[in-house]
């Protein structure tokens, strides 16, 4: 079974370089187009479920993808929500660096908590999905990077990888044990992956 972990499409805050965290920022026109192109890349695949963060930018991305794969009902899982950046939500990246440098407590969700809830979500969902089915999970940059870091022993992901909007990361699961196959693929790169792997 494969889990396709997808980052939501672009928002205006992405364009402005602002931390979104739990702020419920919608997709912009580019983000809607990115989600549509992403969904097209999944046409013809056996997708058993689409699970999404509750935030609008993720759930809208999931809804658009669902239209291409014949899924009528999305599953909301709060564990896929973005990291809570506390007082830094809405801040530009230069302000975040200021707080990081001086160690000021901003109420940010602890990294180990973030990583654990995402990995728990993936493992729980994998165990409860038949091996013959694949699933799509739609989440956020910080959350997905925490997963990539966990599955690569810190060689990629948080602090090392800048994820594209609507990118696709692929996790292969056997008996509930996740292994990272590929990450940060564009829709075109994913089509090539499908061709190479016959899926």
Known active-site residue 140: no
Q: What pLDDT, on the 0 to 100 scale, is given for residue 97?
A: 56
Structural domains for the chain? 2-197 (3.40.50.1240)
| Residue in 10, 68, 82, 140 annotated catalytic | 82
Of 38-42, 136-140, 172-176, the one with minimum mean pLDDT is: 172-176
Share of the chain above pLDDT 70, in %: 91
Is there a contact between 57 and 31 (Cβ–Cβ < 8 Å)? yes
Q: What angle do CA 33, 37, 38 make, to 5 degrees?
A: 115
Q: Give the span between the Cα atoms of 76 and 30, in whole angstroms.
A: 24
Q: Grade residue 139 by pLDDT with cuts at 50, 70 and 90.
A: very high
Residue 104 has pLDDT above 80, yes or no: no
pTM of model > 0.85: yes
Known active-site residue 82: yes
Q: Which of 30, 18, 38 is nearest to 194 (CA)?
A: 38
Q: Grade residue 89 by pLDDT with cuts at 50, 70 and 90.
A: confident
Residue 98 has pLDDT above 60, yes or no: no
In this prediction, residues 74-94 reach a mean pLDDT of 88
Give the residue with greater pLDDT, 98 vs 107.
Answer: 107
Give the residue with greater pLDDT, 86 vs 72.
Answer: 72
| Residue in 8, 10, 68, 140 annotated catalytic | 8
Q: Which of 42, 58, 34, 64 is nearest to 144 (CA)?
A: 58
């Amino acid at each position: 079974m494969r889990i396709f972990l997808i980052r939501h499409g672009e928002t205006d805050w992405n364009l402005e370089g602002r931390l979104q965290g739990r702020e419920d920022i919608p997709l912009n026109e580019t983000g809607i187009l990115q989600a549509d192109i992403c969904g097209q890349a999944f046409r013809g695949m056996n997708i058993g479920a689409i699970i999404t963060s509750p935030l609008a930018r993720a759930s809208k991305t999931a809804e658009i993808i669902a239209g291409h794969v014949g899924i009528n009902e999305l599953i909301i899982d709060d564990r896929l929500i973005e990291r809570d950046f506390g007082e830094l939500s809405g801040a530009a990246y230069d302000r975040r660096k200021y707080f990081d440098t001086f160690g000021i407590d901003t109420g940010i969700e602890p990294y180990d908590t973030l990583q654990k809830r995402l990995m728990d979500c993936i493992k729980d969902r994998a165990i409860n999905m038949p091996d013959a089915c694949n699933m799509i999970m739609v989440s956020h940059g910080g959350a997905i990077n925490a997963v990539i870091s966990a599955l690569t022993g810190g060689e990629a992901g948080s602090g090392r990888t800048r994820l594209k909007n609507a990118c696709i990361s692929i996790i292969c699961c056997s008996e509930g044990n996740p292994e990272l196959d590929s990450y940060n693929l564009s829709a075109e790169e994913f089509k090539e992956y499908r061709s190479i792997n016959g899926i």
